[in-house]
Amino acid sequence: MTPDPQPSQTHLPVLPETQLAVSCEGCGICCTEVPVPPYLDEIDFIPEELQRQVYEARLIEEQLIADKRPCIWWDPATKKCSHYEDRPNICREYETGGELCLETRTKYRIV
Ligand code: SF4
Ligand code: SF4
């Protein structure tokens, strides 16, 4: 039998990509990207006082954007949402450590 001209290779197990250890603690930077809580139809299910705050902010949204204001509900002291239980669905779906999260953290040099 002809010997195999190629040396036998040892295949090391492929390791999963290293995941950045990401935590929202002390971050909150994605909440500075929008000035008004981004509700769609689900706004009908939050308390009326919070709905009023959102509708009022929408009236001046262009100015808030021009002034680069964070979300009206973002608390800069805690860097957290002050109405977390009533936050919009899109905020609930924003994945910590996901592509958008990492892009945003990179943009603001939060590593
Ligand atoms: S989802 Fe990402 S960008 Fe947003 S607060 Fe958490 S770690 Fe920061
Ligand atoms: S999580 Fe709260 S503070 Fe952050 S964008 Fe959503 S509504 Fe605003």
Give per-residue pLDDT as tens, 27-86: 999 999 999 999 999 999 999 999 999 999 999 999 999 999 999 999 999 999 999 999
Write the CB contacts of 63 (distance below 8 Å, at least 6 apart in sequence). none
The answer to whether position 72 is within a domain reads yes
Whether 4 maps to a domain, the answer reads no
At residue 35, the 3 state secondary structure works out as coil
Is 89 within a domain?
A: yes
The rounded Å distance from CA 84 to ligand 1 centre is: 14
In a domain, 3, yes or no: no
Ligand 2 centroid to 74 CA: how many Å?
6
Q: Is residue 13 part of a domain?
A: no
Tell me the residue range of the domain where 80 lies: 29-107
Q: Which ligand 1 atom is at minimum distance from the Cα of 22? A: 7
Provide the domain count of the chain.
1
Whole-structure pTM value: 0.81
Identify the pLDDT of residue 12.
Answer: 57
Is residue 99 domain-resident?
yes
Q: What are the b/e assignments for 23-43, b being 16+ CB within 10 Å?
A: ebeebbbbbbebbbbebeeeb
**16 is a domain residue:** no
Domain for residue 47, yes or no? yes
pLDDT at 7: 47
